[in-house]
Amino acid sequence: MIQSRSCPSCLRRVEVSQFKLGDRVRCPYCKSEFQIQPQMRGAPVANGDAEQRHRQTNPRPRLPKTASMERLQVEGYERFEEVGKGAMGKVYKAYQSKLRRKVALKVLALEHADKSGFVDRFRREAATGARITHRNVVRVYDILTGKSYDREGVSTEVHVISMEFVDGPHLRQLNQSEVRGNLPKALDYFRQICSGVAAAHEQGVVHRDLKPENIMLDRETNVLKVADFGLAYFVDRDERDAVWDTKTRMTMGTVAYMPPEQGRDAKRVVE
C-alpha cells in the first residue's frame, strides 16, 4: 500500500495514509492542494481508459526550462507560470489567493541573490514603481521573499517583486504591421508612452532605460504601460537611499537606446 505520493506542484513526497480516496490534501511544502485518486493509493488500473482519465485529471507538472529545474514558492501566491526572463531574473504569472487576482512576480536570479548591489537595485525598482500611480505605468504592489526549490528539493531564499500583470506583448514583440502605416494608432501609442514617462517625472523619477522591451501592451484595453524601473534615478536626492546612487563615469542603460551624453556619464545627464 502506498503511504505517500508526489505533490503535482513541487514534486516532494507527501504523507497521505491518513486520508481516504477523494480527499483533498494540502502539500506542507508548497501549500498547493491536490486530490487523492485511486491510482495514488495503489488501486489497480482496470483499462487504458482509466489510465487516460488519471493522466487528464493529474497532469505532470510543466517544469521551467532551466538547468536547475527550480520551483517557486511565495506565500499567498499560486499557479506559477514562467512568462519571461532576462539578465536580472525571471517573471512569472501567478494568482494571488486572498485578493483573487492575477499578478506578475519578478524574481531576482539566484546568482544575484547574495550580491548586495543587485539586491539594492532590485529593491530600488520596487520602491520606484510603487511611488508612481498612472494607467500608463505598471503598478508595483509589494516586495517579498520566497523560496526556490531545485530538483533535489533543496530550497533557496529569493527576492520577489509583486506587480500588475499585463496580458500582452512588449513593443518589440508587437506585429509592426499593426502600427506601421496606421498613423492614428502610432500617435496614440506615442502619447501613452509620453504620459507614463511624464507621470514618472512628476514623481522625480528618470527611467534611463526606455526601450521597446520595457513598454508593455495590454491587449484587452489597448493601453501601453512603462515597465522596469531598475535603472531609474531619483532627482530629489533627499528621498533616495545613498546606496542607490549612480557612481560618476558609470554607464547605465541599453547602449542602442541611450543618448551619447548618457554613455559618457550617466550621472551628469540627469543632474
Whole-model pTM: value is 0.64
Query: Cα(192)–Cα(49) distance, rounded to whole angstroms?
Result: 54
The whole-chain average pLDDT of the chain stands at 76
d(CA 132, CA 227): 11
Average the pLDDT over each of 7-11, 82-86, 110-114, 160-164 and give the range with the smallest value. 7-11
List pLDDT tens digits, range 27-81.
Answer: 777 677 777 776 533 433 334 444 444 445 555 444 344 434 368 899 999 999 9
Q: What residues are labeled active site? A: 209
Q: Among 45-59, 97-111, 182-196, 246-260, whose mean pLDDT is lowest?
A: 45-59
Alpha helices in 4-115 (DSSP H): 48-57
Q: What is the pLDDT of residue 149?
A: 86
Provide, for the chain, the percentages of residues in helix, strand and coil under a 3-state DSSP scheme, each rounded to the nearest 5: 30, 25, 45
Instruction: Give the count of alpha carbons within 13 A of 244, CB side only.
Output: 22
Q: What is the mean pLDDT of residues 13-37?
A: 75
Residue 167 Cα distances to 45, 137, 141, 157, 170, angstroms: 41, 14, 17, 28, 10
Q: What is the DSSP letter of 93?
A: E
Look at residue 141 in the predicted model and tell me its pLDDT: 94
Angle (CA) 213-217-223 rounded to 5° is: 135
Residue with cell 551624453: 261
Q: What integer pLDDT is reported at residue 47 of this predicted model? A: 40
Q: What is the pLDDT of residue 60?
A: 42
